[in-house]
Structure 1
Amino acid sequence: MAEGVPEGKADDAHARRLWWGALEVLQQRLLGDNSSLEGVWIAAPLPALYAPELLQRYRGWVWAPEALTLLNDLQGSTLLPSDLISAPTGAAEEPLLSHRFQRMTLRAEDSQDPFLLVITNNLQVALALQGHEGQRRLLMRSEPSLLTGVLRLVEQRLKEDDPAQAEGLHQALSDLGPLQSSGDLALHFWPELAQRLASMAPTVTLRTANESPQDAPPSHASGEIDAELSLLEAIAHEVRTPLATIRTLIRSLLRRRDLPEKAMERLQQIDTECSEQIDRFGLIFQAAELQRQPEGPSPLARTDLGAMLRLLSPIWTQQLKRRGVGFAMTVADGMPPVLSDPSRLEPMLGGLVDRCSRSLPPGSKLLLTLEPAGARLKLQLISRTPEQIAAQTIDPMPQERLGPVLSWNTDTGSLQLSQTATRRLLESLGGRVTQRRDRGLTVFFPIAEQC
């Protein structure tokens, strides 16, 4: 697929942003084509299609990591369940069970880069990400000769893994007839992708700041941990992509003037919740990426942390109010600028507020303070439950670690970034984290030198 395509220049975070946008563009075209009611799709390392109508309409084959089975066992859920393969198409009690696709297992030597091939009566296209870090690129090919070669390789692999499924794919392709040229696809695809990227939420791209050797994370996670982190990245992507689509649709409705005020209010609430979850899973994705493939130092700039906190305070107040949690902030006057990355620090601060408040029951309070501390500014977040407020105590929430990135509250079951992942993300932004049992979360940012 990469033959004749110029070398890419994107890092992994920007390449995946291209991938998410490309999936949205492709799915919108498929959803708008009511004449193509039959087709096949082939994907790795997770199902790239997520629109229920398309999953019902087409037959699918997915090569997925073996570790995904472990996740199914842990969650008791069906991210990629084998029972979908044989589920009756007309199951009235569980309509989503009509989403049928065959699951195959990726081998250790297989690439983890995302790939999707879709063949319908009117549209045939292959999408993939390819290239080393810093040279990543999105590939989109629709030439019949090239797709024929790709299908030949897929069928050959399927014969090795499951000959019966290879015969099923061959028959499905035969029923669709010969491949046709989608010559005008590129003329529309790339402009639509550019428009989609312009409307998507900015990604949270965090890079490692200067670290002392003893603090630096290992250059590569290995074996089982690396597979776990790759899986977590894929899941974060699979959550964010449909949320971004929902938010786009919601915002198109919000531009209308003929909806009742109550409906507009509900739509705005949905938009806000989608944005919060997109940012939350964006941080989870970047925490996994930073753990798995730490990047080199990135420059830090003068950042007015006090002004940023005052700007964000009303947003956090409303966000926590919806959960029944109070918010109070104290920022000392005349705070000097710190060294950080303002464009990346803002979503991280939102992630800190979310991390410290997500497990709090209604009636709790979250306290934020910013004050001088020698050559640094001290940002402190303290959470108090109603019982702690009444008893005038500050006790830590019960937490249990789930791998290198996530932890969960054993009382409420709420997932959040682990202390280690939070620390590394903040270190990439110039901060140093301390967390004590009786004083919540404290971050020290270096004061910028006077110009």
Structure 2
Amino acid sequence: MVSDVAHELRTPLVNVRGWLEAAQDGVAEIDPPLVASLLEETVLLQHLIDDLQDLALADAGKLRVHPKPVNVRSIVDQVAAAHRGGAEAVGVELSVHVDGEPDLSADPTRLRQSLGNLVSNAVHHTPPGGQVTLRVRSSGDEVLIDVEDTGTGIDEESLSRIFDRFWRAEKSRSRAAGGSGLGLAITHHLVQAHGGRIEVRSTVGEGTTFTIHLRSGAHRRPAGPSSASDSA
């Protein structure tokens, strides 16, 4: 774990240091494009640190949620709105379909974080012209939230490792394109903290669907001495 963290931190730090040293030596000019590049690297570092904090809380048994009645339609609309610009920029259509008005109690911040991780992952793995769909429906005593894509798909061997930390289905993918490798692991922990579960189905070359199962109208609050909600 420590080795993986060091590897993930090293690349953006080396990039930032290299450009700053070049500027100090007069080899590079601090112009707007360089500032934008350095800002992007520091944002990546911040995201990685935030993800590591969430995982540390999960390992300590302190990753807690604060459930309350939520409007699921509003939450998925917010997640879609936050990612639609990025999806459109790479030629991917992002849509939302909500069946009725599902009754759900959840931590809205953590639910948005979980869905955001899944949507971001789906967009990154969907080629131009593809689709990513957020779908919500009720099934028995559960509310099901699907994040479905028409992307590259995941082979059967990889599916067993999909929620492992720092693991990427495509080893050649850069951090900028593939994220920190922690998003799915964090999503798995957050769904469990809600008393739910997450499953994944995939066909190589056709796409992948992640489904979050949460108890419908469940107002039971997971026990625990502290909360991670403010660290999102």
Query: Normalising TM by the smaller chain, what interval?
Result: 0.5 to 0.7
Instruction: Note closer, same or farther for the CA distance 1:71–1:422 as it changes in structure 2 (3 Å cut).
Output: same
Preserved contact between residue 196 and residue 213 of structure 2 (Cα < 8 Å): yes
Larger Rg: 1 or 2?
A: 1
Equivalent of 1:441 in 181, 199, 210: 210
Which position in structure 2 is the counterpart of 1:79?
Answer: 13
> Shift in Å at residue 446 of structure 1?
0.9
Counterpart Cα distance in 1 of 2:199 and 2:216: 18
Which position in structure 2 is the counterpart of 1:367?
Answer: 133
Counterpart Cα distance in 1 of 2:120 and 2:70: 22
Instruction: Note closer, same or farther for the CA distance 1:291–1:404 as it changes in structure 2 (3 Å cut).
Output: farther
> Shift in Å at residue 322 of structure 1?
1.7
Which position in structure 2 is the counterpart of 1:421?
Answer: 186
Give the partner amino acid of 1:431.
G
SS of residue paired to 1:79: helix
Preserved contact between residue 287 and residue 405 of structure 1 (Cα < 8 Å): no
Equivalent of 1:405 in 157, 165, 185: 165
> Structure 1 residue 306 and structure 2 residue 78: aligned?
no
Instruction: Note closer, same or farther for the CA distance 1:278–1:323 as it changes in structure 2 (3 Å cut).
Output: farther
Which position in structure 1 is the counterpart of 2:154?
Answer: 396
> Shift in Å at residue 368 of structure 1?
1.7
Which position in structure 2 is the counterpart of 1:323?
Answer: 90
Preserved contact between residue 367 and residue 383 of structure 1 (Cα < 8 Å): yes
Counterpart Cα distance in 1 of 2:92 and 2:99: 23
Counterpart Cα distance in 2 of 1:352 and 1:283: 17
Counterpart Cα distance in 2 of 1:403 and 1:351: 12
Which position in structure 2 is the counterpart of 1:40?
Answer: none
Aligned residue pair count: 196
* TM-score normalised by structure 1 residue count: 0.36
Equivalent of 1:295 in 44, 49, 62: 62
> Shift in Å at residue 376 of structure 1?
0.5
Instruction: Note closer, same or farther for the CA distance 1:436–1:301 as it changes in structure 2 (3 Å cut).
Output: same
Which position in structure 2 is the counterpart of 1:332?
Answer: 99
> Shift in Å at residue 69 of structure 1?
11
Preserved contact between residue 102 and residue 137 of structure 2 (Cα < 8 Å): yes
Instruction: Note closer, same or farther for the CA distance 1:280–1:357 as it changes in structure 2 (3 Å cut).
Output: farther
Give the partner amino acid of 2:144.
K
Which position in structure 2 is the counterpart of 1:228?
Answer: none
* Structure 1 runs not aligned, ≥5 long: 1-66, 97-238, 244-276, 389-394
Instruction: Note closer, same or farther for the CA distance 1:330–1:419 as it changes in structure 2 (3 Å cut).
Output: same
- Name which structure has the greater RCO, CA cutoff 8 Å, separation 6+: 2
Counterpart Cα distance in 2 of 1:316 and 1:403: 22
* Structure 2 runs not aligned, ≥5 long: 31-38, 220-232
Q: Output aligned runs, 1:340-351, within 5 Å.
A: 340-351=106-117
Give the partner amino acid of 1:446.
R
Which position in structure 1 is the counterpart of 2:36?
Answer: none
Equivalent of 2:118 in 352, 355, 365: 352
Preserved contact between residue 317 and residue 327 of structure 1 (Cα < 8 Å): yes
SS of residue paired to 2:167: strand
Which position in structure 2 is the counterpart of 1:46?
Answer: none
CA deviations over 1:291-340 (Å, ceiling 9, x no partner): 4422165542222212322344333323311222111221112322x121
Counterpart Cα distance in 1 of 2:53 and 2:182: 11
SS of residue paired to 1:333: coil
Counterpart Cα distance in 1 of 2:115 and 2:131: 17
Instruction: Note closer, same or farther for the CA distance 1:282–1:447 as it changes in structure 2 (3 Å cut).
Output: farther
Counterpart Cα distance in 2 of 1:69 and 1:365: 32
Preserved contact between residue 279 and residue 347 of structure 1 (Cα < 8 Å): no
